[in-house]
C-alpha cells in the first residue's frame, strides 16, 4: 500500500487541487486549529508536540534537581522562598526529608522517561523518519497521534501526583518494592505511588504505539531506491531504539501489573512476611523483591540505549554533514548499533550485583557488560575519524555533537569500572554511579538532543536559532556539566552514598561540604543557561532569521528536498527517488551530492 492511500485514509482530507506555493501547504488541507495544532496527525506537528511537552518536563525535572541540590549544597542555610513555592515541604526554608526523596524520585522518572525517551525519540523519530526515508507520513498517522496523547495523559497524571496531600512517590525512580508495594512504607507510597504507576502504564502504551509505527514506517514506507544500506544513520539508530522499546517496555508493564496486585489485591509476588514498624509483620508470604528488580532492569537496561541511540544517530549525521566528510565506517556503525541492541538485553543483572546474585552468574554478566565496550569503542573511533582532517563548520549543532562524543567517552570509561562486579561492590549506590550515568546517559543524550534541535530547527520552523546564544549555551553547559559531575567521581570513591538527605551529619563526608556547595552552585547556573536556550527557542520560532534556501546545511538527506515549510505530505509532487547513500560529502571534488542525484558513469556506487 502506498503512502498516499494511508494519508488519504486518515482524517485529513487532501482536497485541494491547485497551487504550488511552497510556503503555505497547510492551507491545502483546510485544517482547523484543532486538527492542525491539537489532534494533529501530521508527523511534523506531533514531533513539535513531543518536543515542547518534553521541554516542559525538562524544566520541571531540572528545577527539581536545583531544589534538592540546594539541600545538598547548603544543608545549614534557610531559603524562605522555598516555603512560598512548595509549602509544607519547605517549612522554615528547609526542604523536608520526604520532599527531598520525592524530588529525587520525580526528577529521575521525569528525566528518564518523559524527557529523554518521549522528548528525544518521540520528537526526532516523528520528525525524521518520514522525512529521511521519503514517506508522506507514518504507517499509521492515527496511532501516532494516540501515542502523543497517551504521553500527554501520562504527564497529566504524573503532574497531579505532585499536588496530592501525601506527596508524589518518593521511593526512587526504580520503584523497588517494598517501598513501592506498601502504602504504609512512606507518605509517597500512598496515593503518589498509585498515580506514578498509572502514569507509567500510560507512558508504556504511548511508547509502544510510537515504536510500532516507527518500525513499520522504516521497514515498509521507504521511497524508491532507499535500500536499508542507504538509510541515514539517524534512521538506523531510531529503528534500533524502537525495536528495543517494543521488546522491553511490555516486560516492564508485566512487572507493574504484578506490583499493582501486590499493592491493592493482597498477592505476594514481591512482598514477604517482613516487619514494618507501626504496622507489624505483613500477612504476605514468600514474595521476592528481587523478582521486581529482574523485571524492572530487563527494561531498565535497554532503556538507557533507548535514550542513547537516537542521540548517537543524530550525532553521526551532524558530524558527517558539518565535517563535510563521509561518515567513517557506515556499516561498522550499523553493526555496532545492532550489537549494542542485542547486548542491551543481556546485561540487566549488572544493576543487581549486590542483591545476593550468584557470583558465578555475576561473572557472566560482567563479561557481557564489558563486551559493550567493543561496539562503543568502534563508534567513538568512527566519530573521531570522521572529524579527522575534516573541513569542520562549527555550527552550534556541530559543537553539541562533538560535545556528545566527549561526554560519551568520559562517561563510557567509568562504565567499565562499574561493570566489574568486584569494583561495583565498593562503588554501587555511590556518587560514582550518579556521575557515570548522568554523564554517559543524561548529559550526553541531552547534548544529542540539543544538536538535533539546532540542526533541524530550520526544518521544523523555517527559521534559524540564534547562533551566539547557541555558542554561549554550548560552552556554559559543556563546562558546567563537567564541573558538576567530575567531582562526584571522587565523592563516590570516598564512599559517599547516593540518595542521602544530609551529609553534614556524617563525619566521613564532612570534607565534601565545600565541594557539594560548589556542585550545587554550578548546577543552578547551568539550569538558568537552559532557560536561556528556551528563550532562544521560542523567540526564534517567531522572530528568528528566516531560512531562504531549502538546504541550509548543504546536506545530502531527503528532508532538505522538501519545501522550506513542508505541508502534510511533505513533498510537492512525487516523492524523490534515491540513488545513493546519504554521505557523499567531498566526493570527486564536489562538496556534497544529495541522495537524489543519479550516480554518474564514472562514479562508484554505494
Partner 1 sequence: MVYMTTVSNNQRNRIHPHKFTMWVAMGSIVMMFAGLTSAYIVRSNQGNWLEFNLPVVFWYSTLVILCSSLFIHLSVKAFKAREMQRYRLLITITMALGLLFSVLQFVGFSDLKTHGVQLLGVGSNPAASFLAIICGLHILHVLGGVVVLMIIFLRAYSNKSKNYNPVPVEIVATYWHFVDILWIYLFIFFSIIHT
Which residues of this protein are in contact with partner 1, per CB under 8 A?
1-8, 14-18, 20, 136, 139-140, 143, 208, 211-213, 215-217, 219-224, 246-251, 253-255, 257-258, 261, 265-269, 283-288, 291, 294-295, 298, 569, 571-575, 577
Task: Pick the closer one to partner 1 by CB: 80 or 283.
Answer: 283
CB 147 within 8 A of CB 213: yes
DSSP β-bridge partners for residue 592: 585
CA-CA distances (angstroms) from residue 29 to 24, 40, 160, 291? 10, 12, 36, 52
Minimal distance in Å, beta carbon 220 to partner 1? 4
Backbone angles phi, psi at 281, to 5 degrees: -75, 140
- Compute the C-alpha angle 594/595/596, nearest 5°: 90
Minimal distance in Å, beta carbon 131 to partner 1? 15
Which of 306, 266, 334 minimizes the C-alpha distance to 113?
306
Q: Quickly list DSSP for 143-156.
A: HHHHHHHHHHHHHH
CB 99 within 8 A of CB 188: no
The half-sphere exposure of 531 on its side-chain side, counting CA atoms within 13 A, is 11
Residue 95 in grid coordinates: 526542604
CA-CA distances (angstroms) from residue 582 to 66, 135, 337, 603? 42, 16, 18, 15
Minimal distance in Å, beta carbon 525 to partner 1? 43
Minimal distance in Å, beta carbon 507 to partner 1? 40
Minimal distance in Å, beta carbon 578 to partner 1? 10
Minimal distance in Å, beta carbon 191 to partner 1? 21
Task: Pick the closer one to partner 1 by CB: 110 or 200.
Answer: 200
CA distance 361 to 366: 9
Minimal distance in Å, beta carbon 300 to partner 1? 13
Contacts of 58 (CB under 8 A, 6+ apart): 111, 115, 119, 530
Minimal distance in Å, beta carbon 91 to partner 1? 37
Which of 162, 264, 239, 246 minimizes the C-alpha distance to 204?
246
Minimal distance in Å, beta carbon 238 to partner 1? 14
CA distance 598 to 591: 16
Which of 574, 6, 555 minimizes the C-alpha distance to 320?
555
Minimal distance in Å, beta carbon 269 to partner 1? 6
Task: Pick the closer one to partner 1 by CB: 208 or 526.
Answer: 208
Task: Pick the closer one to partner 1 by CB: 292 or 503.
Answer: 292
CA distance 290 to 90: 34
What residue spans of 79-119 are helical by DSSP H?
80-86, 97-109
Task: Pick the closer one to partner 1 by CB: 211 or 452.
Answer: 211
CA distance 233 to 316: 7
Task: Pick the closer one to partner 1 by CB: 100 or 305.
Answer: 305
Q: Is the dihedral of CA 64, 66, 71, 76 positive or negative?
A: negative
- Compute the C-alpha angle 91/94/96, nearest 5°: 75
Task: Pick the closer one to partner 1 by CB: 457 or 571.
Answer: 571
Minimal distance in Å, beta carbon 74 to partner 1? 44
CA distance 256 to 473: 39
Minimal distance in Å, beta carbon 211 to partner 1? 8
Task: Pick the closer one to partner 1 by CB: 294 or 587.
Answer: 294
DSSP 505: G
Task: Pick the closer one to partner 1 by CB: 16 or 91.
Answer: 16
CA distance 363 to 366: 5
Task: Pick the closer one to partner 1 by CB: 22 or 603.
Answer: 22
Minimal distance in Å, beta carbon 475 to partner 1? 42
Task: Pick the closer one to partner 1 by CB: 241 or 540.
Answer: 241
Minimal distance in Å, beta carbon 217 to partner 1? 7
Residue 480 in grid coordinates: 558546567
Task: Pick the closer one to partner 1 by CB: 244 or 387.
Answer: 244
Task: Pick the closer one to partner 1 by CB: 273 or 591.
Answer: 273
Task: Pick the closer one to partner 1 by CB: 345 or 490.
Answer: 345
CA 459 to chain centre: 21
CA distance 581 to 566: 23
Which of 126, 85, 56, 118 minimizes the C-alpha distance to 530?
56
Amino acid at each position: 500500500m502506498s503512502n498516499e492511500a494511508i494519508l488519504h485514509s486518515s482524517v485529513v482530507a487532501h482536497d485541494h487541487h491547485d497551487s504550488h506555493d511552497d510556503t503555505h501547504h497547510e492551507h491545502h488541507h483546510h485544517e482547523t486549529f484543532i486538527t492542525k495544532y491539537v489532534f494533529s496527525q501530521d508527523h511534523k506537528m506531533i514531533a513539535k508536540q513531543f518536543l515542547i511537552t518534553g521541554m516542559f518536563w525538562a524544566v520541571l525535572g531540572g528545577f527539581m534537581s536545583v531544589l534538592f541540590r540546594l539541600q545538598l549544597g547548603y544543608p545549614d542555610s534557610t531559603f524562605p522562598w522555598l516555603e512560598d513555592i512548595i509549602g509544607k515541604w519547605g517549612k522554615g526554608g528547609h526542604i523536608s526529608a520526604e520532599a527531598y526523596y520525592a524530588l529525587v524520585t520525580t526528577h529521575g522518572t521525569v528525566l528518564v522517561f518523559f524527557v529523554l525517551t518521549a522528548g528525544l525519540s518521540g520528537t526526532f523519530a516523528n520528525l525524521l523518519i518520514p522525512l529521511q526515508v521519503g514517506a508522506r507520513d507514518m504507517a499509521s498517522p492515527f496511532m501516532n497521534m494516540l501515542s502523543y496523547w497517551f504521553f500527554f495523559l501520562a504527564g497529566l497524571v504524573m503532574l497531579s501526583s505532585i499536588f496530592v496531600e501525601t506527596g508524589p512517590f518518593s521511593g526512587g525512580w526504580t520503584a523497588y518494592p517494598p517501598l513501592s508495594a506498601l502504602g504504609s512504607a512512606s507518605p509517597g507510597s500512598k496515593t503518589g505511588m498509585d498515580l506514578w504507576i498509572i502514569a507509567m502504564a500510560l507512558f508504556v502504551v504511548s511508547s509502544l504505539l510510537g515504536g510500532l509505527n516507527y518500525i513499520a514506517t522504516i521497514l515498509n514506507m521507504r521511497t524508491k531506491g532507499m535500500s536499508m544500506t542507504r538509510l541515514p544513520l539517524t534512521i538506523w539508530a531510531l529503528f534500533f531504539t524502537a525495536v528495543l522499546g517494543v521488546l522491553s517496555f511490555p516486560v516492564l508493564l508485566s512487572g507493574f501489573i504484578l506490583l499493582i496486585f501486590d499493592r491493592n489485591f493482597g498477592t505476594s509476588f514481591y512482598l514477604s512476611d517482613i516487619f514494618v514498624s507501626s504496622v507489624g509483620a505483613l500477612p504476605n508470604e514468600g514474595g521476592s523483591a528481587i523478582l521486581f528488580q529482574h523485571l524492572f532492569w530487563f527494561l531498565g537496561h535497554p532503556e538507557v540505549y533507548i535514550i542513547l541511540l537516537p542521540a548517537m544517530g543524530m550525532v553521526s549525521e551532524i558530524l558527517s554533514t558539518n565535517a563535510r566528510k563521509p561518515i567513517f565506517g557506515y556499516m561498522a556503525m550499523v553493526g555496532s548499533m545492532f550489537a549494542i541492541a542485542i547486548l542491551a538485553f543481556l546485561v540487566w543483572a549488572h544493576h543487581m550485583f549486590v542483591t545476593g546474585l550468584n557470583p558465578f552468574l555475576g561473572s557472566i554478566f560482567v563479561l557481557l557488560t564489558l563486551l559493550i565496550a567493543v561496539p562503543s569503542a568502534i563508534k567513538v573511533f568512527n566519530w573521531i575519524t570522521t572529524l579527522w582532517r575534516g573541513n569542520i563548520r562549527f555550527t552550534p549543532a556541530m559543537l553539541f555533537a562533538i560535545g556528545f562524543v566527549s561526554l560519551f567517552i568520559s562517561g563510557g570509561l567509568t562504565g567499565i569500572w562499574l561493570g566489574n562486579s568486584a569494583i561495583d561492590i565498593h562503588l554501587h549506590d555511590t556518587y560514582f554511579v550518579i556521575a557515570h550515568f548522568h554523564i554517559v546517559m543524561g548529559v550526553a543524550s541531552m547534548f544529542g538532543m540539543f544538536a538535533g534541535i539546532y540542526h533541524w530547527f530550520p526544518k521544523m520552523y523555517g527559521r534559524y536559532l540564534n547562533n551566539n546564544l547557541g555558542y554561549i549555551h554550548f560552552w556554559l553547559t559543556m563546562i558546567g556539566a563537567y564541573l558538576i559531575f567530575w567531582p562526584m567521581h571522587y565523592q563516590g570513591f570516598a564512599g559517599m552514598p547516593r540518595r542521602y538527605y544530609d551529609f553534614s551529619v556524617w563525619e566521613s563526608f564532612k570534607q565534601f561540604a565545600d565541594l557539594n556547595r560548589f556542585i550545587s552552585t554550578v548546577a543552578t547556573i547551568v539550569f538558568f543557561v537552559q532557560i536561556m536556550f528556551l528563550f532562544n527557542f521560542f523567540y526564534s520560532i517567531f522572530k528568528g532569521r528566516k531560512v531562504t534556501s531549502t538546504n541550509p546545511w548543504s546536506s545530502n538527506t531527503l528532508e532538505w528536498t522538501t519545501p522550506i515549510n513542508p505541508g502534510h505530505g511533505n513533498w510537492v509532487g512525487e516523492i524523490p527517488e534515491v540513488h545513493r547513500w546519504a554521505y557523499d560529502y567531498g566526493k570527486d571534488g564536489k562538496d556534497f551530492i544529495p541522495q537524489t542525484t543519479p550516480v554518474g558513469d564514472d562514479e562508484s556506487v554505494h
